[in-house]
Amino acid sequence: SNDRIMLPEHVAFIMDGNGRWAKQRNKPRFAGHRKGAEVLEGLCNYLFDNGIKTASFYAFSTENWSRPQDEVEKLMSLMMRMLKKNVPRFIKDEIRLVVSGDLDSERISASNKKAILEAVEKTRFFTRGTINICFNYGAKSEIVHAANAAVKKGQPITEQTIAENLWVGDLPDVDLVIRTSGEQRLSNFMLWQCAYSEMYFTDCLWPDFDVSELKKALEWFDGRKRRFGGV
């Protein structure tokens, strides 16, 4: 049935509601993050099996550093554990891993940065699908970074040179943004890449967002007529 449905090439997820999910179950916030990480892993299989080429996930924003230190540390170790666990799977499944964000920040330890860059390097030539983890990411910072990088290379500032120098590099623009748990805003996520995205908002909390919820979003997307500013 998939050949009849218009599929997005690039789906981006703003994974919201881990804390609320945990609170509803009288569990610590971290239990929500852990369950949320499992959801991410499960969705990737479905996306790439069904011909969607690129999936981006807003894993850690530049604003997230203001959270309690304990939660930040747990999020960091969760991220590193996920990488370690999934890199062999990415290699087996020929999935390219991209990590977008300010990896040069002094807040990211040298060993974590090294592990991230090594994971990215090991998968960089795979073409079956791309998973982009936005980590220490903020869209405004990304655009500033791209402009500075272009200037440094002696390039004129054009849409083309900004696009080439973004942290996400050669990824296509986002066709569909999915945000869970009822919030309806972009929160400084991929502003450049989302210029013409369709936006799907659901009250479903991220840890409860499963393949059936994803299918609802894809069917909704199929029903939109995309005009890209034309008629």
Catalytic annotation present for 16: yes
**Tokens, residue 211:** 């393949």
Catalytic residue among 16, 86, 173, 175: 16
Cα 13 from Cα 38, distance rounded (Å) = 14
For residues 12 and 168, give the distance between their C-alpha atoms in angstroms, rounded to a whole number.
12
Of 152, 174, 173, the closest CA to residue 163 belongs to 173
Instruction: Check 18, 45, 50, 64 and give the catalytic one.
Output: 64
Look up residue 218 and give its two tokens: 């894809």
Angle at alpha carbon of residue 176, lines to 216 and 226, rounded to 5°: 100
Active-site residue 102, yes or no?
no
The catalytic residues are 16, 64
